Structure 1
Amino acid sequence: MSLTPAAITERSFAIIREELAAQGLVFAPPADVVIHRIIHATADFDFARITRWSEGAIEAGVHALRRGRPILADVQMVRAGVSAEIATAMGVSVYCFVNEAQVCAQARRENITRSAAAIRYAAAQGLLAGAVVAIGNAPTALLETLTFVDRGVRPALIIGAPVGFVGTAESKALLTRRTDVPWITTEGRKGGSPVAVAIANALLRLAAGRTATEVL
């Protein structure tokens, strides 16, 4: 493996495009950036078929990030995976509150997940409205976010890609029924922190005018 990092990345995305085309799956911009980066992160071409987004959702996320709106992550793995270099250059703060003492205490007191309590904390801090919410693990965080949407607190975009077996597919199905908030999701049980990170980084790249294949 004598290829440079840039060459490896370029070849990886070329393979992705070739295999998608062979399956009759070609995505127009800007959706291609999102789909290609999810597959690059997971090596799973199923995501080309199960990734869904509401009309104008990708553009809404890009617009919010260009305005420096924050990214709220449901778990630390998502926060850590978001490109700090691009986010900083864009003036975008990336938050994850699951380890805050107040959040942990509330989760224990109310017998809810820390990710759900973190959404409540973010809302109380005035950070949920207008934010890009990136959920890659906890369906409870997605359901809590939708509860706040019902109360009139609307994020700029919800990336709803939790993974798992309990409440995961159901929470995402609820998200796809919404017309009052933009969303990007993956159908069924599949998802995960790498998927949420890939979507967030794709949006950051689009917002910053970076190429899809440029090495982070």
Structure 2
Amino acid sequence: MNTIVTEQLTQAGQRIEHESFSIVDREAGPHCYTAEQWPIVRRMIHATADFEFNGLTRFHPDAVCAGVEAILSGRPIVADVEMICVGVSRPRLAHFGVEIHQFISDEDVIAQARATNSTRAVHAMRKARDRGLLDGGIVAVGNAPTALLEVIRLVSEENVRPRLIVGMPVGFVSAAESKAALAEIVHIPWILTEGRKGGSTLVVAALHALLALAEARQKA
């Protein structure tokens, strides 16, 4: 069997994963996603066993192409929390020369958040901006609505230009509202989950799906 970097490392693992995807395909029923979008939604369902993401997941028309091109170009990924960085396969990232970053636990970020009575997530995204990681990169938000809202502000007020925003914060305070605001952006591609549902697990699943699509494009 030819090695596929973005799949499980063993044939047994690959068989289980493929069978799981087949089950999702059978049980999901009709959907309105394109052939490129569905693998992302399918992997999100696979990661959560929650078929509501068949419908809750929305895509900017250019989202998949933008994400794949960013990965193939080795552009960085900026996450809101460490959980996303831990969850994404390092060997898969290394295959494309992609680095993933998060700054929410940095001492300077914590100090700035305390000094301004703001959140660490806000200042983490500002640090990513200052390091030049947001322009042309992928922003991945799975936990902190304030991180997503700050990215939206940076886009609208400071002309920051991520290649793709994956906006899937989970929760009850500003989660749904932040994603509704993201959906209003027309000039930056995005992938989001509507409403309160979201989480780092979903973001990791979406990123792994994009990595797999990038490898398929690479081998085409």
Asked if these proteins are the same fold (TM beyond 0.5), I'd say yes
Give distance in 1, aligned partners of 2:197 and 2:110.
27
Q: How does 1:67-216 map to 2 (within 5 A)?
A: 67-150=73-156, 151-209=158-216
Paired position in structure 2 for 1:15: 23
AA aligned opposite 1:196: V
Give distance in 1, aligned partners of 2:55 and 2:70.
26
Paired position in structure 1 for 2:51: 45
Give distance in 2, aligned partners of 1:32 and 1:180.
22
Q: Please, which runs of 5 or more residues in structure 1 have no aligned partner?
A: 211-216
Residues 72 and 131 in structure 1, CA contact (< 8 A), matched pair in contact too: yes
Give distance in 2, aligned partners of 1:82 and 1:29.
23
Shift of 1:54: 0.7
Shift of 1:26: 6.4
AA aligned opposite 1:199: A
What percentage of aligned pairs have identical amino acids?
48
Q: Does 1:36 align with 2:42?
A: yes
Give distance in 2, aligned partners of 1:172 and 1:55.
16
Shift of 1:57: 0.8
Q: Which moved more, 1:201-210 or 1:114-123?
A: 201-210
Shift of 1:6: 2.2
Shift of 1:25: 2.5
Give distance in 2, aligned partners of 1:158 and 1:27.
18
SS at match of 1:24: coil
SS at match of 2:83: helix
Q: Please, which runs of 5 or more residues in structure 2 have no aligned partner?
A: 1-10
Give distance in 2, aligned partners of 1:169 and 1:28.
24
SS at match of 2:30: coil
Paired position in structure 1 for 2:7: none
AA aligned opposite 1:130: G
SS at match of 2:74: coil
Residues 86 and 208 in structure 1, CA contact (< 8 A), matched pair in contact too: no
Give deviations 1:161-211, integer Å, cap 9, x for gaps: 00000000000000001112111000000000001111111111111228x
Give deviations 1:47-97, integer Å, cap 9, x for gaps: 011100111111101101110000000001011111211111100000011
SS at match of 1:179: coil
Give distance in 1, aligned partners of 2:40 and 2:136.
21
Shift of 1:125: 0.8
Give distance in 2, aligned partners of 1:39 and 1:181.
25
SS at match of 1:209: helix
Give distance in 2, aligned partners of 1:149 and 1:119.
12
Q: Which moved more, 1:96-105 or 1:163-172?
A: 96-105
Give distance in 2, aligned partners of 1:201 and 1:8.
17
RMSD: 1.4
Give distance in 1, aligned partners of 2:128 and 2:71.
17
Paired position in structure 1 for 2:5: none
Give distance in 1, aligned partners of 2:144 and 2:154.
16
Report the TM-score, using the length of structure 2 for normalisation.
0.90
Query: How many residues were matched structurally?
Result: 206
